[in-house]
Chain A
Amino acid sequence: MAISGASTLFDKLWSDHAVCDLENGETLLYVDRVFLHERTGAVALQSLRSAGYDVRDARRVFCTMDHIVDTFPGRGDKTLMPSGADFIRATRSETRTANIRLFDVDDADQGIVHVISPEQGLVLPGLTLVCPDSHTCTQGAIGALAWGIGSSEAEHALATGTLRVRKPKNMRVIVDGALRPGVTAKDLILHLIARFGANGAAGYAVEFSGSAIRQLEVEARFTLCNMAVEFSAFTALIAPDEKVEAYLDGRDFAPKGEHWRDAVEYWRTLRSDDNAAFERELVVDAGEIEPVVTWGTSPEQAVGISARIPGPDEHLEPHRREAAAKALQYQGLQAGQTMVDIAVNAAFIGSCTNSRLSDLRAAAAIVNGRRIAPGVRGVVVPGSRRVKRAAEQEGLDRIFTEAGFEWRDSGCSMCFYAGGETFGEFQRVISTTNRNFEGRQGPNTRTHLASPETVAATAIAGSFTSAEMLANSESLIA
């Protein structure tokens, strides 16, 4: 329990939104923003309507086309996914009926929900935001209480402006020290999941803190919080600071003038009290982390890029041993193989984890002046139309295309396979996405998760390589 009224950041956000405690141990929580997308949004809106309920306040509801829309230049409603256009059209018609602001296929501000929401100031520190998408925890990076829900919960939030939620416990993850050069927020979260398990934060709301977290830029913090759901957390949070204020200042939907001053004054109270108690605390030394790549089919099956795939007997728990054997079979790999010896067929840069301007810049810096290895397919998908325009203004698109990458329009793209585009059976893909599950990027496609830097370097080298390794090997040849 908290000492003498001291609260965590999560406790503050929770109590600020608690309409009332229900008799059954749940709390009725006020929901400030609901975000929908075309994969699940239309079903929720249809089902709500057929049950006879209205959307309580459409002005606080937003919807985007990101999950199944094509990312080929010049796309329309038709997608490679069979019946994909039905989802797009149903979403368009349902949002119009409900008077919900839609970021449509051709909207200049269209993009992946977790990219465009902060990009436009739709999510703000101190607010609650829900979306029928598990990676909604991304947006906790600016100090909003944001979490993923299912369709029924989305209907409940739309109809009542609230959700019935049982309060999770508080966990603090303290990351002190400094990340080594070339080591990113992506490596940090993969390291955490590998070390503490894919269920390591089950039942908890996680707050990331410590000197290494404060050092992270806002976009890197999104990457970190994005994968909290792969750590089984209810959500993740980072206390807002000056970097967050600077990031939000001037965004389209962000408060202006007097409202801005009031907002900032309030946001500065959004931090855990010094003596607030957490039910669990993990401490990580940032300096011990190297670039991480997954080898298996769960984000917890990951190692440093200079390591070998662990042998079955290195897994202490029996169920991990069995899972490892199954994953190796799916991935076509063997225990003991050295990661840097594993060749890839494709490299993917994009998704709500790593598709922001800073991600594209970091990858482009490595790609610049080099060529993709022969036989490797490279795809870059900006997270939003705005990211795409900004990248093109800087000439990042040319750097990628001259190196042999495809430069796409914005969306979730091949982060997952919805029956449309895939890298193909038994193809090995290094990917900046968040899930390496069986079949995630296509039937029998083999996915390895890594940072944009590592994906870019691997695309150039043709086998798993960090940016640092790539630079060293080239200087040896020179």
Chain B
Amino acid sequence: MKPFLSHTGVAVPLLQRNIDTDAIIPSREMKQVSKRGLGEGLFAGWRYTLPGSREVNPSFVLNRTEYEGASIILAGDNFGCGSSREHAVWALMEYGIRVVLASGFGAIFHTNCIRNGLLPVCLQERTINELAEQVGGDPQGNLVTIDLQQCLIRCGEREWHFVLDEAARHMLLNGLDPIALTQQHHIKIDSFEQARRRAHRWAYAPLEDCVEGMLS
């Protein structure tokens, strides 16, 4: 994964609450057994005029020329609620979104972002509105910078501070592979597992007999 240090780009306002992962990527747009090929389906229900078509809906904010190349989303509370589908994050990334600034996130979506190098930043609704105002009618002129090393957002002369969970920040800043990181603890995991299996034999022994019988 590529380390995330800082990003500057066009911010697009999607200031509704409860934007769910079905809206971010409708299930019908998940066409292949793959993490790729999803960018085109991003916000498909809003982005195109008719279901299944690719005719651009000019009134959807992402399609307006002033937001061309947008890479930052400004959103309301509970962004990414609903289905756990990681395709929502893969679709955002493929489209070019690098940061989502929202007043709250769906919990699974938030973790999915971190694991894929997309920065989710939680801000107060007031701050999101201030930012949207600062970007104003000229998003291409008023680019937004999100600096993860300093935990600062800049737009024009203004700055806002943000807080990100230290574990998530560390993971993003260093582009770490969490599986490899966790495997460094393999001795602790092994001994925990052995102790747990002794203490709770009821939880493992019957299952293992059962499954081995079925698979053999």
Contact = CB atoms under 8 A, between A and B. Distances in A.
Given A53-B179, A159-B179, A198-B18, A149 B35 contact: no
Interface string B128-150: 00000000000000000000000
B203 A24 contact: no
Secondary structure of the B contact surface, majority rule: helix
Contacts of B30: 39, 418
A30 B194 CA distance: 12
Interface string B156-175: 00000000011100100000
A34 B203 CA distance: 14
Interface residues of B, number: 68
Contact of A156 (B17, B81, B179, B214): B179
B52 to A, nearest CB: 7
Most A C-beta atoms less than 10 A away, residue of B17, B33, B52: B33
Interface string A256-289: 1001101100100000000000000000000000
Interface string A109-136: 0000000000000101011000011100
Contacts of B23: 437-439
Contacts, number: 207
Interface stretch (B6-14, B54-62, B64-72, B105-113): B105-113
Most B C-beta atoms less than 10 A away, residue of A26, A134, A234: A134
Contact of B179 (A19, A160, A319, A419): A160
B22 to A, nearest CB: 5
Contact of B211 (A32, A101, A435): A101
Given A150-B112, A232-B107, A443 B51 contact: yes
A252 interface: yes
Given A28-B189, A259-B206, A152 B33 contact: no
Interface string A394-424: 0000000000000000000000111100000
B40 interface: no
Nearest to A418: B27
B28 A149 contact: no
A319 B167 CA distance: 31
B17 A101 contact: no
B159 to A, nearest CB: 25
A209 interface: no
A144 B176 CA distance: 31
Interface string B172-210: 000000110111011011001100100011111111101
Contacts of A202: 78, 104, 107
Contacts of B183: 159-160
A416 B203 contact: no
Given A199-B81, A323-B16, A149 B170 contact: no
Given A59-B211, A159-B179, 12 more contacts: A19-B189, A39-B30, A59-B212, A126-B200, A148-B84, A150-B84, A253-B210, A255-B202, A255-B203, A259-B201, A322-B16, A416-B83
25 contacts: A24-B170, A32-B203, A40-B85, A40-B86, A59-B207, A86-B33, A126-B203, A149-B84, A150-B89, A153-B115, A166-B167, A198-B78, A199-B81, A199-B104, A203-B107, A255-B203, A255-B205, A319-B16, A319-B77, A319-B125, A437-B23, A437-B82, A438-B23, A439-B26, A443-B51
